[in-house]
Structure 1
């Protein structure tokens, strides 16, 4: 497999260099989706631009649909405006908006000026929506007809404009009453009806809709409840605006989870790929690391205050990192649960007291168990039961505090409209480190006569 992938990259690079359009088309048709993504990611900036210039706009659009969105945006930035516009014209409306929204205003306007006017106007309209609401997720490629039209008229129009509708989502036809959403028809209902049958006589008027302002959580809940392909999007006047597809909501949910996961690991600014500029990747990471190093210095200052104690009971140096790390792990588990519950909507920011009590109960059990385990380890290491009590007691108390903070800090930050995924980790780490060091060294000072 490794040899095949390397060979694909070599062939792709040679065909790009030779400018062989036909063989490039055949190669991309023969490669699997994951092979295309892997090979494309190994091309340099010039090769990517030349590839998209050599292949058709349609194939360029298909390629950009396969690669991660951040890479698609980067690629659009690298090519000329005319080529970028011709490729974007071939994408679905939601993909167009996702890419254009990531560009700076000057580049975005330059590309929009080169796009088909109707496509550009549609993008400008959709880009005003937040990306995580129905309006920002919907596609505008759907079939909609007035209720007084007949099946025969619909069939004739579909045949006459087959080239326009070939990439539309044609499982359903949406029926309108003077522009207002009336209902939905399955394509089979149209096919099996007589040509003179009016749509209003066969339309299902009990179809569900969502508002363009409905958020991602509302859409996730909707598709968990109903096994639909998609759902029509309407405004306050019941005007049909678009269609939200199940797959797009699932992708948005997955993207949000990935974004939150990256933030908890200190990757700020969204998705990071190694094809991105080195300075950009470094800047994103340092923005978190530079703050974290200051917080760690603050935590380490506690040790400096108890330097004399540590010098007399040097064995504590072995267990301080364990106390800090284990408490941090316990706290991060609580953070993860709170972030997940917030994303699912099963807990709200005002429920601090309930979450705190739930975590205290878990913390008491886990703290005692972990305290006993590290206490036994300390006793076996030095043969001193008091050392076991010192480190065991410190870890037990710190674990209770860590899970209490870890469970509640995301809710508190959410209430302050601050991103809980980004800020919870550094706050938790600093507090648990400082408290863990403080407790262990304070207990050691109190029991100094039994430790040396």
Structure 2
């Protein structure tokens, strides 16, 4: 890199790499940056440059950047790519993120991308995207580390030692044991696997798992994880068949996102918003809140106008108008803050369609 190039900003150097079509130099330039810093730099580019950048980078790196963005923005970035490139990036994402991003796209664009993916993977994405986002089905991922009742400890250990490229997607799950109908009937701890004979059947060392239904709401899921020290739970369909696996981190992230969303709504911001989003979209979202405030202000002004003669007669009353306005706003914010912290009735129990197991059993614990 020349001395003149070193004096350029990162954004300018990115544009230079794009102009030269130098994918290797672009990757080296972004390597020292964190994912959030990389995303911020990408958002400084015009849409055409963003598309070119994501097309030049390896699909795995592009997927990591896409995963850092809010789902609406991620969908916008992926939609701008050619279907084969977009499919490669989507395929590199975890299945739960795939469903979230695909769910934000127009149906035509989503189907074009899914058509380029493996049929089984595309079916999983469609299935996950059909669930409500604040339920176990909407938060789970499809990949599950499963075995059959007839399998042995040795088979599981060989899977652990294999070079299976998809193994990382299991995210440290404990093995789940399924019956012939695909229903989870047991889970095996790592300690049990290491201390048992390789010829032992999994049914000899497994324990019954706790399961949650695909339609279990977020509050109930939070209660389940509060009661049990598990890192994940199997999610089942209505007929009891395994649908996917839900992680504690996904539930924690969903609870945090819901809290942040409620806080933003209090400030008049609806949905995810970043400065790079289209001005018309951002303006339309904000005007809904601002228009309501204008109407309320007009009502307040009309009340004051109705008592204009009184204010003119006793001018000292006008001194108290800003005080009343300020105190009403402060007391309102305090009331909202207290209401948000108020415990929900039934908190501490595990409502919803949750099945249990004996205390002391292990189902993907810490």
Band the TM-score falls in, shorter-chain normalisation? 0.7 to 0.9
User: Please, what TM-score do these two structures have when normalized by structure 2?
Assistant: 0.86
Aligned pair count reads 340
Please say if 1:185 is aligned against 2:184.
Answer: no
Structure 2 residues not aligned, in runs of 5+: 1-5, 348-366
Higher RCO (CA-CA < 8 Å; seq separation 6+): 2
- 1:369 is matched with none
- 2:358 is matched with none
- 1:308 is matched with 309
Instruction: Classify the secondary structure of the residue corresponding to 2:169.
Output: coil
Structure 1 residues not aligned, in runs of 5+: 349-452
Instruction: Classify the secondary structure of the residue corresponding to 2:188.
Output: strand
Tell me how far 1:332 sits from its aligned partner: 2.0
Partner Cα distance (1:8, 1:108) in 2: 32
Please say if 1:194 is aligned against 2:197.
Answer: yes
- 1:69 is matched with 71
- 1:108 is aligned, of 102, 107, 110, to 110
- 1:203 is matched with 206
- 2:35 is aligned, of 33, 36, 61, to 33
Matches within 5 A, 1:81-100: 81-100=83-102
C-alpha change, 1:253 and 1:79, in structure 2 (3 Å) is: same
Partner Cα distance (2:307, 2:202) in 1: 82
- 2:45 is matched with 43
C-alpha change, 1:192 and 1:17, in structure 2 (3 Å) is: farther
C-alpha change, 1:297 and 1:239, in structure 2 (3 Å) is: same
Q: Which moved more, 1:155-164 or 1:123-132?
A: 155-164
- 1:172 is aligned, of 174, 177, 186, to 174
Q: Which moved more, 1:143-152 or 1:6-15?
A: 6-15
Instruction: Classify the secondary structure of the residue corresponding to 1:233.
Output: strand
- 2:132 is matched with 130
- 1:449 is matched with none
Partner Cα distance (1:194, 1:97) in 2: 40
Partner Cα distance (2:335, 2:81) in 1: 45
Partner Cα distance (2:48, 2:192) in 1: 51
Q: Is the contact made by 1:184 and 1:204 (CA closer than 8 Å) also made in structure 2?
A: yes
Instruction: Classify the secondary structure of the residue corresponding to 1:30.
Output: coil
- 2:165 is matched with 163
User: Please, what TM-score do these two structures have when normalized by structure 1?
Assistant: 0.71
- 1:23 is aligned, of 13, 22, 25, to 25
Tell me how far 1:66 sits from its aligned partner: 2.0
Tell me how far 1:134 sits from its aligned partner: 0.3
Q: Which moved more, 1:124-133 or 1:294-303?
A: 294-303
Tell me how far 1:158 sits from its aligned partner: 5.2
Tell me how far 1:191 sits from its aligned partner: 4.2
**Structure of greater Rg:** 1
Q: Which moved more, 1:70-79 or 1:142-151?
A: 70-79
Partner Cα distance (1:112, 1:190) in 2: 38
- 2:274 is matched with 273
Tell me how far 1:170 sits from its aligned partner: 3.2
